[in-house]
Amino acid sequence: MKRPLVLVGFCVLLTLAAAAFFGAETARVLFWICLGGFCVTVAVGKTRRAVAFPLAFASCAAAFAAFCCYDCFAVEPPRTLDGKTEAFSGTVCELPEHRDGRWHYTVRVDSLGGNVPSGFKVRLTSQNGLEAGPYSRISGKAHFFLPPGGEGFSSRGYYASKGIMMFAYPEEYSGLTVAQPVEKPPYYYALRLREKLIGAVKALLPEKEASLVNGVLLGEKGSLSQSLVDDFRADGISHLLCVSGLHMSTISQLLILVLLFFHVPKRPAVALTAAGIFGFMAVTCFVPSVTRSGIMCLLFLAAPMFSRDADPLNSLCTAGILICLQNPYSGADVGFLLSFSATLGLILCAGPITASLNKIFGRIRLLGPVVRAVDAVLGTSLAAMLFTLPVVLPEFGLLSAVAPLANVLILVPSTLLMSFGAAAAVLEILLPATYLSRPFALVAGLLARYVRSCAAWLAHLPNACISVSDGWVMLWLAGTFVLFGAALVLGSGKKLFPQAACLSVIVLLAGIFSFQIANHDVTCFTVLDAGDGISIALTRERHAAVIGCDSYSSGKIISCLQKENAGKLDCLEPLTQGREEFTCASDVAARFRPVFFTAQQNSMADSFVCRAGQQSTRSIGFQSSEDMSFWNSVRVEAEASEKSCAARITVGGLTFLVCPRKFDCGKLPNSWRNPDFLITDSSEVNSLLCPAVAIFSLDRRTLGKSATDVKRCRAFWTGGYGNLVLKLKGNRVLSVGRET
């Protein structure tokens, strides 16, 4: 075999991704299957001499075994703390993060009450900020609970890939004690440098531009607006906000240019560049995507030292193996899978695609350099898109139609933004009083403004992203693997791969359009998994309405509307007067600009509600009741009490009563009290109501504590298990599904 390391790397990563998706129980079964396959291929002389088959089965079996052992000894023991309150002490091991109005601290547990071994990480959330920085010690009582999600590429698996096994929040009646750092390892100084770089950019630029520069340069997403993140996702350029190969190559080239400018000899320059790359990996917190690209860069720099040529495929697979050995749950990190698959696409296909484009469009001599530059960007973006589709489609459910154009317009400016932003931040730290950083900051700020505007414009184009269905996408992926396997066997190599790729693309496009046709005249009623609050999205043929915005993050609502390919928001109605709901309503209105906005009249003075009303075409405040109809089949009626209102939604011959827990059910009309469906964020069904089905929109912690009354009706719930989706077509015909 020419490249045994490549075979081992692919087998290990694909195996761990499958293990993370299907769970530990399935992984144990697959381990024995792979072990049996290894024994059979070793026993048969023909396959034994081929080497590849026994090596592949052995790699898969070893990866499944490593995953099961890690799950048994490192993941499952901390999960026994779910729902318990324990005294603990730990060390903050990352920079604090402020998001969704809360402070989040990654804490390594050093000691813990009970029989659970220490040494794992928790994500400690506090409403108020603690005086805790990197390597500060925190002690006290906390309530532990599992991250949301279950099997598959869920939030739980993602956090396990980062070593975070549990979430926690402080016990209500006992505070936490914070002590200053006792030890300051090298990573402490890397985190402090990251903090200073972020602070330098914020000091030099306005808030919006600074947040984008920090997001692109350092992967700092905490201060990014949800609308910008959604725009990048719709444009297919989310990789710019994840530090990976593009960032690493830009930083390494910048370091080499600076060192050569000062006439540093080649070998010391390479050594200093390698040290700079490792330092950048530390400053970006050793996330798997940057660790992968960093290892590849280090191998590329080290190859000439040993009189060897760097092999990109071997370097990529070596990086993948090292990361997976450190944490077998790395296969659950979607960012790492995207980074790996995109790099694989660049290695295998970027060159041939670019060459083909140059043959077609490079005949005009006058515009030759420009055309070749555009072809290079298109070649890399198309290669990366092709290889990341098996991850993007099942995970996000969206296919960006503007991704090639977005990469042409934004990729080069974002690369320049990184270079100028890095130079500005470093100069501001080293020479703060010289104003040398200001010209670099000015260029970085202008580029950031351009990138924001361009991303927003592209995301708002008609059909910028196309929604797809998980079920048929998985069938398409399985069919694609079978298709390429058949091409490999029948073509005795890669001869039939172009034809297989064309057939796969045709099937994908046919699936997308047939999915659109199948969903014609279907109203999708989605109860969002939004914590202890009610958020409902109705979508139909690119039109949408949002009833209730009581979510801990507007991103939940915006993401749902994008996934349903909503191009026009016809109605937006908050149901309560809580500040959190007003904030979400304002964010949704800023993103989609609703045609009609309505809220209780006595809440219209709130600045967030006023802002949402100003962003709509028509805004009305009602005092006691409201009645509106749209799409020729949907009717929404609202009844107000003191600080909240209930809504009755009639669609497809079915009635849905949306009743917040603060609403006085005694004020409901008698005709409303026997709905087909009740949606509530209360832990029990009010005695005045007699629904056929109850849907409880509750956080998992609240759901676990409550004694939910489900005796009088059938019950569904969100509780961290994902959105509940009801699809209605015709009269009283519906299907119920779960969307994680």
> Residue 538 pLDDT more than 80?
yes
Contacts of residue 699, Cβ cutoff 8 Å, sequence gap at least 6: 531, 532, 719, 720
Q: Which residue has the higher pLDDT, 241 or 467?
A: 241
Q: Is 548 strand, coil or helix?
A: strand
CATH class as words, domain 523-739: alpha beta
Which of the four pLDDT bands, split at 50, 70 and 90, describes residue 440? very high
The DSSP secondary-structure symbol of 492 reads T
Are residues 645 and 663 in contact, defined by beta-carbon separation less than 8 angstroms?
yes
**Confidence at residue 704, expressed as pLDDT on a 0 to 100 scale:** 58
| Amino acid of residue 706 | S
Q: Is 696 strand, coil or helix?
A: strand
Sequential DSSP letters for 580-639: HHHHHHHHHHHHH--SEEEEEGGGTTSHHHHHHHHTSSEEEEESSEEEEEETTTEEEEEE
**Confidence at residue 48, expressed as pLDDT on a 0 to 100 scale:** 81
> Residue 306 pLDDT more than 70?
no
Range in 45-59, 122-136, 461-475 the model is least confident about: 461-475
Range in 176-185, 409-418, 480-489 the model is least confident about: 480-489
Tokens 């172009």 belong to: 498
> Residue 578 pLDDT more than 60?
yes
* Mean of per-residue pLDDT scores for the chain: 82
What is the rounded CA–CA span in Å between residue 668 and residue 688?
Answer: 9
Whole-structure pTM over 0.85, yes or no?
Answer: no
Q: Which of 193-202, 372-381, 564-573 has the highest mean pLDDT?
A: 193-202
| Amino acid of residue 353 | I
What is the rounded CA–CA span in Å between residue 273 and residue 494?
Answer: 38
Q: Is 647 strand, coil or helix?
A: strand
> Residue 626 pLDDT more than 80?
yes
Tell me the C-alpha to C-alpha distance, in Å, between residue 270 and each of 136, 259, 279, 712.
36, 9, 14, 72
> Residue 707 pLDDT more than 50?
no
pLDDT in tens, 71-99: 999 888 888 888 888 889 999 998 888 87
> Residue 157 pLDDT more than 50?
yes
Q: What percent of the chain has pLDDT over 90?
A: 15
CATH class as words, domain 85-184: mainly beta
**Confidence at residue 236, expressed as pLDDT on a 0 to 100 scale:** 82
Q: What percent of the chain has pLDDT over 70?
A: 89
Element (H, E) at 466: strand 465-467
